[in-house]
Structure 1
Amino acid sequence: MRKLALIGAALGWGAKKFETEQGPQHLKESKLLEHLQQEGFIACWWDHVTPLVKGSDFQASPTIEQRWQWVVDFNHRLANTVEKALRAGYFPVVLGGDHSIAVGTWSGVTRYYQITEKFGLLWLDAHMDAHTIETTPSQNMHGMPVAALLGYGRSDYVESGGFKKIIRSENLIHLGVRSYEPEEAEFLRRENTLIFKTDDVNVLGLPQVVKKIFERITLGTQGFGISIDLDGFDPQYAPGVCCREPGGLHPTEVLKELKVLTHHPLCYGLEIAEYNPSLDQNNKTRNLIEQIIISLLRD
């Protein structure tokens, strides 16, 4: 059985609402670790990465440049943390935190395994997150990590984990998309990425979609990871997110089918992002996070 390193990525500066920084601590206080151990997992809370300045401690409105610097610094330290966990023999489970953490997560993984670009990634998300600073209407960094992982955007963010490019576009797959801007769609079309919108899932059926995902994510790669934005699921199952989008995926079916990926020997990490406990309802989202880890990673 894999040893799990739970890594809190307490960042909120990439989003409009910084309360996602509270997600990891809320999970820790909810006895997530104890519940995983009761399920038979060998697991530990490896670290809790926090930004240089917490949103809850900052009284004024930060400038965009301040937020940029805090996000860049955070991703640099997160990459180091993930790499250290891997060196100690653990499988990293990164718990965020807004989705701008992805550069740090996957930089740490690819650095440890010494993979240069030949890395695949499943991006389960209601959004494409493929903006650059030139195309985003909001200037929020949690809408940019996919572009950054592909090597596009501000160099300080793109290279905050030590690489100029982390994943190959032909090995990037989006699942659950249903809200995006035209600029993102055109960018990913040019990059030849594979995108499964929720409508595609409804037409093709999830088993067929996951089969195609498996083929693409392992095609010529030396490893791959899974990044889950909780808003990829329907809000009735995951209300505790900043950007709720109706018509999302059903978690039970998704988690059942994705096991073929997480049980593959080249699956090197799991990331769960955008948990905002202040918006949760009856702990639905918190419980879903626990369900994700148990369903995907239990032997």
Structure 2
Amino acid sequence: MHETATPDSGGAALPEALRFRSPAPLVDIGANLTHASFDRDLEAVIGRARAAGVTTLILTGTDREHAEQAVALAREHPGLYATAGVHPHDASRWSGELARAMRELHRQPEVVAVGECGLDFNRNFSTPAEQERAFEAQLGLAAESGLPLFVHERDAGRRMREMLHAWRDDIGHAVIHCFTADRETLYGYLDLDLHIGLTGWICDERRGHHLRDLVGAIPLTRLMVETDCPYLLPRNLPAKLKGRRHEPALLPWIVREIAHWRGIDEADLATATTTTATAFFRLDPRQQDSAAPDHRQEST
């Protein structure tokens, strides 16, 4: 996800009704913590995530500036990692210089995926041709680096499948992050052996209700969870949150919702998605353990 609207800044502690704690450690595979809305209280946000059992955060790098910021944060905080890519909205900026900068970022140990990159034919802030050019180049960088792909797709499922199919033998793992599409698109991605990232979109009775019938079709070995914060605040939270800013501490609510519609135990889903994410991003479980919350303390 990569929105232009700016969610209201947070800063206050979460209401008691929103202080969830996951029954097992979680990996948030898509957290935009370099967004300006987190500038004022980033340390508290990370602390609340850990208190909620969200022990690992993959910080999304949507352009050079935010990828570099994500790497810097990952160096400061155990359990934080980064991705590095150019979002399709910014594909018109792709250049040889940017490709070289991305290649250097992909060499950093904190970077665990190429992306966020892909196709967005919904808004076309960059033309489809520019998007395909930048995505093709980043597919090449993924093949070169051996890193997995963190992919954005909106209203471009057919073309996305065509491009990924052409590269499938050259790239490793790939995840369609913030999946919101239909059954045909989902099955097409699963046929390509792709992973699927689900967000609070499933909590939206207006736009995401169709996902409730699809979650059971996603193998647990292919399913991961994410907030895409500060965007996509779940609409069915049990209490109102001042402002509109989403944060990683609310990921357990999304897991609970997915587990409900899948018909499995919440703890089992948490364990499975964390196992899948740890393998996908090649994370060090020891770092995840070091970032685990101290359950003797209350969340803030």
TM-score (norm 2): 0.38
TM-score (norm 1): 0.38
Q: Which has the higher contact order (CA 8 A, sep 6+)?
A: 2
